[in-house]
């Protein structure tokens, strides 16, 4: 069950690009141990909000706090080290590297092995490398990548590449895993498998933020939902509460209400 303690807080965040207000005084939090869905019609501000939380954009006003500390002015690599990992709408794997190497790249975010350790292959380097390999294989099992660890990433199916990207994000040892449209391009069976995977990741001790337009997946996977429209938060609640919210139905679910039921 989710902890009542907020892990990430979006506090009255506004972001403007020239004369366009992309987010307008948006406030919500993500509690430790929960799966939060962030939804809304196209252009609602979901990706902008996601990018503010992960350091791609800086808010014009308001604040983002992680584990109680403001992170709005930190560089992306610092945010990753604090414990926020993300995937992308478009897969961004190292296609010429192996499955195992792709995951180990994520583990490097927390590596304390120096240049000379690696150059001289010191006992410390060899021990750290062995630990990274074992951890990478564990994560591949967790997300269900069935390909051999020495398989080139480009040879994987689309669905396997999506799972590999999630494993690489988990390799950074995040406290919060942010998934940006992870079901893009999936068929119904793959979406059901993804729903189960997201719950499995939460049950393994991670907190998850899910941005996804597939309402059946969102309703089946998350504990709580925040809804944006035109850069403003219009609703927040459980899947059942959101499904029956007139403002949400008018803004979003009414387009595909039957699929969401």
Q: What is the pLDDT of residue 120?
A: 54
Q: What is the pLDDT of residue 108?
A: 65
Residues above pLDDT 70, as percent of the chain:
87
Q: Which residues of 80-89 are buried (b: 16+ CB within 10 A; e: fewer)?
A: bebbbbbbee
Q: Which of 109, 255, 92 is nearest to 182 (CA)?
A: 92
Q: Which of 75, 147, 67, 149 is nearest to 109 (CA)?
A: 75
* Full set of structural domains in the chain with CATH: 1-83+174-261 (3.40.50.300), 94-171 (no CATH)
Does 113 have pLDDT greater than 90? no
User: Quick check: 91 and 169 in contact, CB under 8 A?
Assistant: no
Residue 46's H or E segment, with its range, is helix 46-53
Name the CA dihedral angle for 35, 36, 42, 47, rounded to a multiple of 10 degrees. -90
pTM: 0.86
In sequence order, which residues have a C-beta less than 8 Å from that of residue 43 and are 6 or more positions away? Answer: 230
Q: Which of the pair, 112 or 53, is modelled with greater confidence?
A: 53
Q: What is the pLDDT of residue 97?
A: 94
């Amino acid at each position: 069950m989710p902890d009542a303690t907020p892990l990430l807080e979006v506090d009255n965040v506004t972001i403007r690009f020239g004369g366009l207000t992309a987010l307008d005084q948006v406030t919500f939090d993500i509690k430790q141990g929960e799966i939060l869905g962030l939804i809304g019609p196209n252009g609602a501000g979901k990706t902008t909000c996601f990018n503010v939380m992960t350091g791609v954009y800086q808010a014009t006003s308001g604040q983002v706090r992680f584990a109680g500390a403001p992170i709005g002015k930190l560089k992306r690599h610092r945010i990753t080290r604090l414990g926020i990992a993300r995937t992308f709408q478009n897969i961004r794997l190292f296609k010429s590297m192996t499955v195992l190497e792709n995951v180990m790249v994520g583990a490097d975010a927390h590596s304390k092995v120096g240049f000379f350790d690696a150059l001289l292959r010191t006992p410390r380097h060899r021990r750290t490398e062995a630990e990274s390999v074992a951890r990478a294989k564990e994560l591949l099992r967790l997300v269900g990548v069935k390909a051999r660890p020495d398989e080139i990433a480009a040879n994987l199916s689309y669905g396997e590449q999506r799972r590999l990207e999630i494993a690489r994000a988990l390799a950074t040892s995040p406290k919060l895993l942010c998934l940006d449209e992870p079901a893009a391009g999936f068929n119904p069976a793959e979406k059901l498998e993804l729903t189960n995977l997201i719950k499995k990741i939460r049950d393994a001790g991670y907190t998850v933020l899910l941005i996804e337009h597939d309402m059946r997946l969102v309703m089946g996977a998350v504990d709580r939902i925040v809804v944006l429209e035109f850069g403003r938060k219009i609703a927040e609640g459980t899947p059942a509460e959101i499904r029956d919210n007139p403002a949400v139905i008018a803004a979003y679910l009414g387009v595909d209400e039957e699929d969401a039921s």
